[in-house]
Amino acid sequence: MPIHALRAAEPNSGHDALSEVGSIEAAGAASEAPLQPKAPSSARNWRVLLHRAAPAGLVAIIAAMVYLLAKLLAGRDFSMVAASALGTKPHVIVLSLLFSALSYCALTGYDVFGVRAATDKSVPFRTIAAASFTSYAIGHTLGFPLFTAGAVRWRIYGAAGLNLAEVAKLTAVAALTLWTGMAAVLGISATLEPQALAALDRLPVGLNQALGIALLLALAGYVFWGRRGERAIGRGEARVRLPGGKAAVAQIVLGLVDISAAAAALWVFLPPDIDIGFPAFAALFAGGILLAIASHVPAGLGAFEAALLLALPDVPTAELVSAVLVWRLTYTLIPFLIAVTIFAIHEMRRSETQFSHTARRIRRFILPFVPAALAALTFLGGLVLLTSGALPSDYSRIRALRHLVPLPFAEVSHLVGSTAGVVLLILSRGLMRRLSSAWTLAVLVIGAGMVVSLAKGFDWEEALVLGAVLVLLLTHRSSFYRKAGIFAEPLEPRWLVALGFVLGCSIWLGFTVFQDVDYSHDLWWQFSWQDDASRFLRSSLVAVVIGAGLSLYAMIHRSPGRQRAEPLRLDALTPALAHAERADAHLALLEDKRFLFHEAGDAFLMYAVRGKSWIVMGDPIGSPERAADLMWRFLEEVDRHAGWPIFYQVSPTHLPLYLDGGLSLVKLGEEAHVDLAEFTTEGKAGKDWRAALNRAKRESFEFAIVPAAEVPAHLAELKRVSDAWLTERGAGEKGFSIGFWSASYLSRFDVAIIRREGRIVAFANIWYGQPGGEITIDLMRHLPEVPGIMDLLFVNLMQEGKARGYRWFNLGMAPLSGLSGHRLAPSWHKVAAFVARNGERFYGFKGLRAYKEKFKPVWEPRYLASPGGWALPQILLDVTNLISGSPAKTLGKGARS
């Protein structure tokens, strides 16, 4: 904070910005307002004289400050200053950088208050943070904030939608926050350490203490004043709302934190043998800022140094000057370089130059590789933490650390550091898969790793490495969007090998480093600042236990698939079903699926999740022109959850669509369609079907169709047939691609039944497709004592479908049929053909194909579209498990009568 006070308090900040806006508005209104009496000429002459004398006065003040600083530094050896600056310990520099970062974070709070007071517009926090940091850092370094910090603020806030008056008002509130913080620091320091401030202002100690108490009372009055209602200054467009009540207290605390952190960033560079506490130094620091503000020297250069030399005469000049120089590096120059980079990126995003276009193209090219790169860097961060835990500490740093933290805290930090290292190794796998949960945990663990790196031995080098990884993770948050759990699938062997290798290497390194230490069981229980070997043993044990535990959990744990279906909404399905060309679109009414609807409402996908597999049943249903949009939306949703997109039993119609989506195709079998236009029970071609009909008459079988409205009255009898059929087969219900018993489901369709002596012996629910399209059945059940009843059912339904004007009767798919036996055919064909030949007694692949062939159907291939590759066996297992019955049983229970 310190010299940024120059910007907030000089005429070109805050209130002068408001004055400038007021002048512009007054000039605009002058042409409409009546002429006002002119000010007396003598007053105008005085203003002109002061205006012309101001530059000369500023030059005189600068010259006086240069003379004073030269006098204070006269006879000093500047080589000693350089040597002292170069000899600054790295961990002290890191500590100063942390305090500087805290100060700039508080400055962001200045602008948060300012935006709330200046406008009702919504400004994202990232915009406020960018505008605050860049304007303060750039204006602080370059000086002339009207042309530097002001321009930066206007460019960023203007792009966010604020006008000039609003930017000026928020600057004024930021300046007020600074002055309240300055008053708090001076008030507290002057009250507690009045003699320190006396060294600078040469006033009596009692008077300084009285001034400190007065400042604190003034702040209390400001808070009390704000509690009595909304407070504001100015009028019209220049009216600024001031924080009140609790907000005023927060405003004071922000200013206090800002100035205190900036003072601490310099205080850590002072020689350790200097007998001055932080409250006393904070008073001198704040006084130096005030002197620098009064000097109007750009960035306070020279004036601030002179103030400290006057206030600290007992501090060796070379060491004090070197401390200020290094502080200007950590507080001014480094933030300035970062701010320039941020501002340049902001401008490139706004501009339409060739360079910005090139930069965006390069970024688009790099983005796909970001997750892998950050996963590798996170793995490296874990390696750094584990390696650090295996190496001895730098005792020069330990001597400083023991004065700041207790030994138990350092010991725990050592264990936490090794644990964090192992966790980062495992999280890197999640980052590779773009998991949002892995990103969140990685940010938390890396942040904790940075803290413990400093707490266990001032290891600022590894803290910087982790900090760099953390910054990259934070700036690429959007690359990690998938919602799956970290352990949604087991750890692959390569990750287990990598984890074991890194742990083994870190342990080997530790035993190599401490090979001169004689092992004894007492080492495990020794706790002192010098017992690095003991800390290594304990941290290695913790790392192995944590790593083994997480690996074992990842190997045996698997997140369950989301099997709970959304409530079925017929009104949402009806528009799409009205456009469905295939009759099996009615599987959507089975109540065991989830749905992805098109915005137009006339198309959807039905799917279920099994493990990592997101399985769509068939092609998109509804308007054909929606198919591509639905597929891409589904692929995006699956990608967000790190799953596998699978389309089961798809037709040749949309194969180019699935190929465009990067999916591989394998043939599942062929579906039989009977052409009802050619189907007949007459003549030679229909003799087999006439025989079936005649046999039915002889055995007193009657065919009938029960309308859907009448089905509930027959459910008890249908349930009896269904249970007998399941018992005879010794099988459970299936689901997803085929119907299961559900009273609510069956009640939505006409049901074909066959009676014998008034008793139902077989039934099947009927799916009607589009007029002139196809008709088929789903759930077909019959009593065990009436075999061969299927022919009668099919023949009657085909006759009924033909009479109603349907063209096709769908007999369903014959699995693993129609596969090529050529030696050059794909491997899947060979494997599937082998299964079909040798699995006949388990399923009857050939028998099913032969039965359907009796009806002389037209065969149409059906495919599985999936990522393929090594994932194909698991995908087939997931599909099989989904259909085999357990999902149906789980979901169907609520629908059973």
What's the pLDDT score for residue 193? 74
Give the percent of the chain with pLDDT over 90.
Answer: 13
Name the DSSP class of 2.
T
Residue among 403, 417, 511 at smallest CA distance from 462: 417
More confident residue, 100 or 139: 100
Q: Which long-range contacts (CB under 8 A, 24 or more apart) does 819-826 make?
A: 819/667, 819/669, 826/666
Rounded to 5 degrees, φ, ψ at 581 are -85, -30
- 252-285 pLDDT, tens digit each: 888 888 888 888 888 888 877 676 778 778 877 8
Report for 428-437, 656-665, 786-795: range of highest mean pLDDT: 656-665
Task: Please give the Cα distance from 297 to 5 (Å, whole number).
Answer: 12
Task: Please give the Cα distance from 666 to 817 (Å, whole number).
Answer: 12
What's the pLDDT score for residue 295? 57
**What residues have CB less than 8 Å from 415, skipping those under 6 apart?**
538, 539, 542
What's the pLDDT score for residue 494? 77
- 737-767 pLDDT, tens digit each: 888 888 989 999 999 999 988 899 999 999 9
The pLDDT-based confidence of 617 (bands split at 50, 70, 90) is very high
What's the pLDDT score for residue 355? 55
Lowest mean pLDDT among 5-19, 108-122, 306-320, 671-685: 5-19
Q: How far, in whole angstroms, is CA 445 from its chain's centroid?
A: 15
Block residue for tokens 């700039």:
104
More confident residue, 796 or 75: 796
Query: Could you give the 3-state DSSP secondary structure of residue 816?
Result: coil
Surface-to-core class of residue 188, CB atoms within 10 Å of its CB (0-12 exposed, 13-18 middle, 19+ buried) = buried
Q: pTM of the predicted model, to two decimals?
A: 0.51
What's the pLDDT score for residue 760? 92
**What residues have CB less than 8 Å from 335, skipping those under 6 apart?**
100, 104, 133, 137, 140
pLDDT at 141 over 50: yes
Averaged pLDDT, 463-479: 86
Lowest mean pLDDT among 54-58, 242-246, 521-525: 54-58
Q: How far, in whole angstroms, is CA 10 from its chain's centroid?
A: 42
Locate 570 and state its tokens: 């017929």
Q: Which of left, alpha, beta for 240 (phi over 0: left; psi -120 to 50: alpha)?
A: beta
Lowest mean pLDDT among 88-92, 428-432, 475-479, 511-515: 88-92
Lowest mean pLDDT among 354-368, 381-395, 608-622, 810-824: 354-368
Block residue for tokens 């789980």:
890
**What residues have CB less than 8 Å from 661, skipping those under 6 apart?**
631, 632, 635, 645, 865
Task: Please give the Cα distance from 346 to 155 (Å, whole number).
Answer: 9
Task: Please give the Cα distance from 360 to 164 (Å, whole number).
Answer: 30
Locate 598 and state its tokens: 């098109």
Query: Could you give the 3-state DSSP secondary structure of residue 304?
Result: helix
The pLDDT-based confidence of 20 (bands split at 50, 70, 90) is very low
pLDDT at 860 over 50: yes
Q: Which of left, alpha, beta for 880 (phi over 0: left; psi -120 to 50: alpha)?
A: alpha
What's the pLDDT score for residue 888? 37
More confident residue, 28 or 72: 72
* Number of residues that make up the chain: 897
Block residue for tokens 């990690």:
480
What's the pLDDT score for residue 716? 92
CA end-to-end span of the chain: 74
Lowest mean pLDDT among 13-17, 55-59, 411-415, 750-754: 13-17
- 791-811 pLDDT, tens digit each: 888 899 999 999 999 999 999
Helix (H) or strand (E) run with residue 325 in it: helix 317-328
**What residues have CB less than 8 Å from 286, skipping those under 6 apart?**
182, 185, 186, 189, 259, 263
pLDDT at 327 over 60: yes
pLDDT at 842 over 60: no
3-state secondary structure 596-607: EECCCCCEEEEE
Task: Please give the Cα distance from 555 to 426 (Å, whole number).
Answer: 12
pLDDT at 774 over 70: yes
pLDDT at 783 over 50: yes
Residue among 672, 653, 595, 649 at smallest CA distance from 865: 649
Rounded to 5 degrees, φ, ψ at 351 are -80, 165
The pLDDT-based confidence of 709 (bands split at 50, 70, 90) is very high
Maximum separation of any 2 CA atoms in the chain, in Å = 130
Q: What is the mean pLDDT of the chain?
A: 77
